[in-house]
Structure 1
Amino acid sequence: MNTEAIWLFLSTQGVDFGLKVLGALVAWIVGRWLISITVRIFTGALERGKKIDATLSNYLRSILSVTLTIILALAVLGIFGVQTTSFAALLAGAGLAIGTAWGGLLTHFAAGVFMQVLRPFKVGDFVQVGGVTGTVQEIGLFGTTIITGDSVQTIVGNNKIFSDTIQNFSALPSRRVDCTAKVANSVDPLDAIARLKAAVAQIPNVVAAPAPDVEILSFTPEGPLLAVRPYAHTDHYWQVYFDTHRAIVATFGAAGYPVPETPVAPRNR
């Protein structure tokens, strides 16, 4: 090591270099302090708004913090005389390359942002999206997690959800439960309808308005096919569905209705 060269450097440029180091250190400390305040204010604004999902809020906060930190690092490099123009161009080029390579993920991210703004559904809703039916567990940055009826965790890309039909079964107060009941040709269908309307109305969690629908749906060789349609909140859909079938069996059994049978055509002799 050439001590003479070191001493020459310290005697001629040491003070200037020391001031630059001190200035860079002060700039970094003050800059980080300002960044923390900015991020805290930004986070507080998001929390007060209460319109952005927590996952998206954390991601936006991270983006802001990283962006401001990069700007601060470039400013510190500028104190030492480092040309940051080419460095910034390099970062921009890298960002463009990454954006092109990750184009598919970016479309899912953009769709997720629109979903947070438009809010077609929320966590806990029962939906059918992207060909998947179940309860929304999480709305992520790139995909939405759905728990299906058979307890399978399914993640659907946000872009697939947003570009397809969205059915939200929890958006309205009640939902129609579709069941059918067949009576024999010898049974008066109007009597069966009156009995079923009274029985279905007594099922727990069946709403009073709209009232249950019981009407003749079609005619079959065995007898009239009745549409039995009570209404219930989506949380009670399957309970009402199964209880309605039990009510049909109990009502027809108590009325002594015969079992519908297919008529047998007479044989030609």
Structure 2
Amino acid sequence: MPIPDLSALVVSTIVPFVLKLVGAVALWIAGGWLIQLAMRIMRKSLRHSSLDVTVVGYLINILAAVLRVILVVAILGFFGIQTASFAALLAGAGVAIGAAWSGMLGNFAAGVFLQIFRPFSVGDFITAAGITGTVEEIGMFVTSLLAPDNVRNIVPNGKLFGDTIQNYSVHGYRRVELVAQLDNSADVGRAIALLKEAIKQVPNQFAGMEADVEVLEFSERGPRLAVRPYTHTSNYWQVYFDTNRMIIDVLGANGFPVPRIPLAMGAN
């Protein structure tokens, strides 16, 4: 190849390519630096927010990945490469991944909302998705609940967030609901007075909330009394069992008859 032609090739093709390559490298370095700067600013702004540290980390990583993809597309455009087909390919891949991981993405989104809205926190005693237990961990995809029988339940966040959540630990106390069955011949007023006095001896009741002892309903056996002390969730079962024992002891010690099952109509 003649020298003039070689010089023209270098000037017209190689030099512009080298300049674009240098520009692309500079753009990659500058873009990477700007992305890191944006991540630091975002991390610092979210540090004092109510979001969980795990959520903050996931959000930052997702944003960094999106910005990297945008940077690569910009560099390809800088080289004159048509990025429309590349963008369509990314969109198609995103749709395919979203369809394949729809359940996981739903659980992830639910985990984010659980961290943002905080219907419960670690240590709360809740009922949700048919499970009752103490919250051990709120993950990005699943939540761990420890049931009262010491069985760990791993519940998907999507199922948890989409169901009714009962949080027993939000308030300072909750009501223990028990029933005392009396015989038809029992003196109801005396039974109520004895139970109201005896229930004061049950420990760990909530101060300032007097237990309720009243007629709840009537059955074939006789009146049924609602016996309802108030206590904190951490003492619920102790108050529950102690109150049940108190009902048996008081009614038995004071001669109240055992409720009898009525005979069927026409029985001899």
For the aligned pair, the TM-score class normalised by the smaller chain equals 0.7 to 0.9
Equivalent runs, 1:109-258 vs 2, <5 Å: 109-183=108-182, 187-219=186-218, 224-252=223-251, 255-258=253-256
More divergent stretch after superposition (218-227 vs 148-157) = 218-227
More divergent stretch after superposition (150-159 vs 229-238) = 150-159
Q: Which amino acid aligns with 2:19?
A: L
SS at match of 1:29: helix
Residue of structure 1 equivalent to 2:23: 23
More divergent stretch after superposition (234-243 vs 133-142) = 133-142
Residue of structure 1 equivalent to 2:69: 70
Q: Which amino acid aligns with 1:65?
A: A
* Conserved? CA contact 1:187–1:257, under 8 Å: no
* Conserved? CA contact 1:112–1:141, under 8 Å: yes
Distance 2:239 2:8 in 1: 87
SS at match of 1:43: helix
Q: Which amino acid aligns with 2:35?
A: I
Distance 2:29 2:179 in 1: 72
Distance 1:222 1:100 in 2: 59
Q: Structure 1 length as normaliser, TM-score?
A: 0.80
SS at match of 1:48: coil
Deviations 1:193-250 (A, max 9, x none): 2232233233222113331111233455665432211011222211211121233344
More divergent stretch after superposition (240-249 vs 218-227) = 218-227
Q: 1:261 to 1:163 in 2, by over 3 A?
A: closer
Q: Count the aligned residue pairs.
A: 260
* Conserved? CA contact 1:222–1:260, under 8 Å: no
Residue of structure 1 equivalent to 2:81: 82
Distance 1:197 1:258 in 2: 16
The one of 235, 250, 262 equivalent to 2:260 is: 262
* Conserved? CA contact 1:185–1:260, under 8 Å: no
SS at match of 1:208: coil
Cα offset for 1:11?
A: 5.0
Q: 1:24 to 1:9 in 2, by over 3 A?
A: farther
Q: Which amino acid aligns with 1:20?
A: K
Structure 2: gaps of 5 or more residues:
1-5
SS at match of 2:47: helix
* Conserved? CA contact 2:43–2:56, under 8 Å: yes
CA RMSD in angstroms comes to 3.2
SS at match of 1:170: coil
SS at match of 1:128: strand
SS at match of 2:205: coil
Residue of structure 2 equivalent to 1:58: 57
* Conserved? CA contact 1:223–1:260, under 8 Å: no
Distance 1:94 1:170 in 2: 44
SS at match of 1:196: helix
* Conserved? CA contact 1:212–1:231, under 8 Å: yes
SS at match of 1:149: coil
Residue of structure 1 equivalent to 2:3: none
SS at match of 2:153: strand
* Structure 2 residue 39 is matched with structure 1 residue 45: no
Q: Structure 2 length as normaliser, TM-score?
A: 0.80
Cα offset for 1:54?
A: 3.0
* Conserved? CA contact 2:186–2:257, under 8 Å: no
Residue of structure 2 equivalent to 1:3: none
Distance 2:197 2:151 in 1: 38
* Conserved? CA contact 2:183–2:260, under 8 Å: no
SS at match of 2:41: helix
Q: 1:64 to 1:264 in 2, by over 3 A?
A: closer
